[in-house]
C-alpha cells in the first residue's frame, strides 16, 4: 500500500508536507479531509496505528473546535466517542494525516517526516 495523505488544500501546513513529499519523489494518494472525512472506524485505526493519544488528532487551533466546545466534550470522552466527533467534521481533524496502513503521522514536522517517510 502506498501513502495516503489526508489534507486540506488551503492549509499551509498541508502544503509544506505536500512540498516535502514532492521534493523527495514520494508517491501518495491525496484525500481532501473535509470532502472525504475518514469514517469513525478509519479514525480508530489511525489512532491505534499512530500510538498517539486520540486527543492528538484534534485540530485544537481550529474554529470548529472552539465553536463546538470540544475541549470540554473530549475531556472525559472515550476513544470511540472522540473518533465519532472527528468523523462528524473533517475540520476537527489535525492535518495532514499520513499513513501507509501501518505507520501514521499527524501534522507536519520535517524531523518526523524524515524519520517515518524518508
Q: Tens of pLDDT along 42-52?
A: 999 999 999 99
Q: Could you tell me which residues are beta bridge partners of residue 106?
A: 97
φ, ψ at 96 (rounded to 5°): -75, 160
Q: Alpha-carbon distance 96 to 88, whole Å?
A: 17
Is this model's pTM higher than 0.85 or not?
yes
Burial readout 69-80 (b: 16 or more C-beta within 10 A, e: otherwise): ebeeebeebeee
Q: Alpha-carbon distance 114 to 59, whole Å?
A: 23
Q: How much is the pLDDT for 4? A: 97
Q: How much is the pLDDT for 106? A: 97
Domain boundaries, the chain: 3-117
Q: How much is the pLDDT for 1? A: 61
Q: Which residues of the chain have pLDDT under 50?
A: none
The domain defined by 3-117 folds into Glutaredoxin (3.40.30)
C-alpha cell at 15: 502544503
Residues 41 and 86 sit within 8 Å (Cβ to Cβ): no
Q: How much is the pLDDT for 11? A: 96
Residues 98 and 4 sit within 8 Å (Cβ to Cβ): yes
Amino acid at each position: 500500500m502506498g501513502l495516503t495523505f489526508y489534507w486540506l488544500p488551503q492549509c499551509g501546513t498541508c502544503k509544506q508536507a505536500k512540498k516535502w513529499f514532492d521534493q523527495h519523489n514520494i508517491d501518495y494518494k491525496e484525500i481532501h479531509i473535509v470532502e472525504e472525512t475518514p469514517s469513525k472506524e478509519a479514525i480508530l485505526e489511525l489512532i491505534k496505528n499512530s500510538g498517539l493519544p486520540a486527543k492528538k488528532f484534534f485540530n485544537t487551533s481550529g474554529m470548529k473546535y472552539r465553536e463546538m466546545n470540544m475541549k470540554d466534550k473530549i475531556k472525559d470522552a472515550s476513544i470511540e466517542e472522540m473518533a465519532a466527533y472527528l468523523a462528524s467534521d473533517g475540520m476537527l481533524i489535525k492535518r495532514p494525516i499520513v499513513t501507509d496502513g501501518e505507520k501514521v503521522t499527524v501534522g507536519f514536522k520535517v524531523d518526523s517526516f524524515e524519520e517515518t517517510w524518508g
